[in-house]
Amino acid sequence: MDNTKIKFTEDQKAVVEREIKQAYSAMATLLEWVKTDSLREDMKEALPSLVDSYMKTVKETIGFTGEESEREKEMTESIGQYYQKQINDLEKALESQQSVSSISAIVKVAFEKIEKWWDIEGFNYIREKEITAGGTVKLELGFMLDSFTSNYSTTPVSDKEQLKTKVQYLTDQGFEFTPKKRGYGLDLIDNDNNRKLLEKVIKAAFPSARVWSYNNHLRSTNNERDDRFIIRGVEMTIIDLSDIENLQIEEKTFLFDEDDE
């Protein structure tokens, strides 16, 4: 990869500086007009076109070609090969579910489906997962509340009026959480209510599932009144693999929880 520094003439430097300043001015004007609802129909095309024109001159001046570097070409090719391999594995799995070579692809698809379900309806990550020789799925569901994020949106202000945070979605279902205080994240309290709700969520997705144990931990704070036992893991088994095949996952978008008291 060539990292040689480029030497520019004084004229080239002056042109780049001039065009970038003009592009910046046009973008600043566009931003101000959008923020104050002052953008007119005749200018919504003109200002972006001006910015494009200024940047076109900058690209020409610095010798920008738009071609992929050798490194970018290698990465693109590598990514393409990876996804093609995934497609080939899945095709083999569909062609012959009895084939030993298709097992890894089938298992991968199954676990990805389970993980997506737990991301949306549960608590974001799975500690352990395996398929036994007897054909059952063993899982230890994990709990990671502080990492909930939203999908990027082109309507972020409107979304806040319509969508919920993931924590609000779970709270509406009856889940109970520890108080969120500075220095202490949000955790799921270990109590009968939350255990029953977890089993309800699990059973709704996988009717044959059995919950075997809960792993908890004392969340000790600076104030003993705020100390709570919290759920850190749930060990469970899916006995009938057709539950995974029949699982229907409803797509949801959640807002980012910006509350940080």
Per-residue pLDDT tens over the stretch 97-118: 555 556 677 788 888 899 999 9
Rounded Cα gap, residues 213 and 203, in angstroms: 15
pLDDT band at 233; cut points 50, 70, 90: very high
pLDDT band at 184; cut points 50, 70, 90: low
The CA radius of gyration of the chain, in Å to the nearest whole number, is 27
Rounded Cα gap, residues 227 and 224, in angstroms: 5
Per-residue pLDDT tens over the stretch 27-85: 888 888 888 888 877 778 878 888 888 888 888 888 887 766 666 667 767 777 766 77
**123 neighbors 142 (Cβ within 8 angstroms):** yes
Per the prediction, the chain carries an average pLDDT of 79
Rounded Cα gap, residues 258 and 241, in angstroms: 38
Report, in this order, helix, strand and coil percent for the chain, each rounded to 5: 50, 15, 35
Per the confidence metrics, is the pTM higher than 0.85? no
Question: 38: exposed, middle or buried (C-beta count within 10 Å: 0-12, 13-18, 19+)?
Answer: exposed
3 state DSSP class of 63: coil
